[in-house]
Amino acid sequence: MKRILLLLSLLTIAGVSAAQEFSGNIALESLIFSEPGLDASQMDDNITLSFKPKWTGEWNDGDDAWSVEIFLRADNRDEGREHADIRELLWLHLDGDNEWRVGINTMFWGVTESQHLVDVINQVDQVEGIDGEDKLGQPMIHLKQYHDWGVLDFLVLPGFRERTFQAAQGRLRFPIVVDTSAPIYDSSDEDNHVDYAFRFSQTYGDLDLGVSLFKGTNRDPQFDLGPGIPHYVQMTQVALDLLLIADDWIWKLEIIHRDTDPSAYQALTGGFEYTFYGVYDSDINIGSLAEYSYDSRDEGQRGVFDRDLFVGARLAFNDAQSSELLAGIIYDTEKHSQSFRLEGNRRFGDSWKGTIEMQVFSNVDPSDPLAAFEKDDFLLLEIARFF
């Protein structure tokens, strides 16, 4: 931790002196669980602090740019959650229809809301949330090429990032504490394996299409070689993502074919978002969402979203404070496990933002991966200062 803080202060000094732009946020988070965890060592509540500064600058009339973004969480009780990560440390070079990015970056591919099957470039920063939307910075050389017939992305990804896991005191973790000190790799290059990825994407009127290919270390660890020992295998993934806008409807689909150990499988997430605009002559928009997920693997090998239905509602108040509320339920159509989630946020003044999150797991089947979180119903309150 001390070394990280030293590195951070050095980067801060270097950043402030060279940056043309500085932004970010500092946030205080309070987490309260409704009951004691499955394991007596797990905490019942926690208060943590996170800091996410970003510096950017450009030269050559904007044809060259750099950016540094760091994420840091201080957590006195869960040493697995106390961590620092470089989300971005990037040189961007524009050369006509080519864009080069060299360094560390975080990116997002895909269209669906409940699960992100196509999004496999970055490792998940799992201690930051179980939705897979917080990710660790990935070293890469990335060339983006614009053509009249579509956009091509070529990525070379040297070096692998291990998934983050909570320590024994942490909540929302597996029953067995993951030992992150000794992961096992199938590749003899271990975490120095060089991965490759490619993507084609194009907009055809109301349709957005993406086709992608990934070859390298599977970001999802398996725990088949020993309790709590992450095992990272190789994989080749071919993926398709589609988004179609038709008036008040937005249709979304992600399909993957993943060739990996122990066996190849297919998975999909697809659904729609239908929006009611200006309900009852107010400024409020209500979006209704429904997505279904399928995983072709055998029972016991599947992820959380195997035969699951997600139904949700998104309220955008369109007020001066940009107030939003999202409520959703994930329902396993075979095992009948349910997970209910509520997320709300609004701005206070010009630079503060308050967030409330609540998640309740109910009727969880012991064979469902969600069973590990059965006692982990929580309420999260966060207040963030943006600058």
Partner 1 sequence: MLNRNSMIAVILSLVLLPTLALAQSAEQKGLEIALAAKAFDQGFADFTANMRMTLKSRNGATSTRLIRIKTLEVEADGDRSLSIFDEPADVKGTAMLTFSHGLEPDDQWLYLPALKKVKRISSRNKSGPFMGSTFAFEDLGSQEVEKYTYKFLREEPCGDWQCYVIERKPAYQYSGYTSQTAWLDKKGYRVVKVEYFDRKKALLKTLTASNFQQYLGLYWRPGKMEMVNHLNGKSTTLEWTDYQFKTGLSDRDFRAQALKRLK
Reply yes or no: is the peptide bond before residue 175 cis, omega within 30 of 0. no
Residue list 206-225, contact with partner 1 (CB under 8 A) = 206, 208
Least distance from C-beta 130 to partner 1, angstroms? Answer: 16
The residue range among 1-9, 89-97, 186-194, 261-269 that interacts with partner 1, by the rule CB under 8 A, is 89-97
Q: In angstroms, rounded to a whole number, what is the distance separating the alpha carbons of residues 381 and 358?
A: 9
Contact between 319 and partner 1 per CB under 8 A: yes
* 275 binding partner 1? (CB under 8 A): yes
- Interaction between residue 250 and partner 1 (CB under 8 A): yes
Contact between 65 and 54 (Cβ < 8 Å): no
CB nearer to partner 1: give 51 or 294.
51
56 binds partner 1 (CB under 8 A): yes
Dihedrals φ, ψ of 368, to 5°? Answer: -80, 140
**Is 357 in contact with 343 (CB distance < 8 Å)?**
yes
d(CA 88, CA 303): 29
Which of 187, 222, 236, 285 touches partner 1 by CB under 8 A? 285
Closer CB to partner 1, 242 or 311, in the complex: 242
Backbone φ/ψ region at 334: left (φ over 0), alpha (ψ -120 to 50), beta? alpha
Of residues 108 and 223, the one with the C-beta less far from partner 1 = 108
Applying CB under 8 A, does 63 fall inside the site for partner 1?
no
Residue 288 touching partner 1 (CB under 8 A): no
Q: Between 34 and 321, name the residue whose CB sits nearer to partner 1.
A: 321
d(CA 385, CA 367): 41
The reply to whether 277 sits near partner 1 by the rule CB under 8 A is: yes
Q: Are 375 and 36 in contact (CB under 8 A)?
A: yes
Size of interface with partner 1, in residues (CB under 8 A): 47
CA gap 146, 328 in Å, rounded = 37
**DSSP count for the chain of H helices, then E strands:** 1, 20
What's the CA gap between 309 and 297, in Å, rounded?
17
Q: Dig out the tokens for 197 from the structure.
A: 């990825």
> How far does Cα 180 stand from its chain's mean position?
20
Bridge partner list, 234: 217
Min dist. Cβ of residue 252 to partner 1 (A): 10
Interaction of residue 95 with partner 1, rule CB under 8 A: no
Q: Does 203 bind partner 1 (CB under 8 A)?
A: yes
Q: Which of 13, 21, 227, 336 binds partner 1 (CB under 8 A)?
A: 21
List contacts with partner 1 (CB under 8 A): 21, 23, 25, 56, 58, 65, 67, 92, 94, 96-97, 99, 106-108, 111, 133, 144, 146, 151, 201, 203, 206, 208, 243, 245, 247-248, 250, 275, 277-278, 283, 285, 318-322, 347, 349-351, 353, 384, 386-387
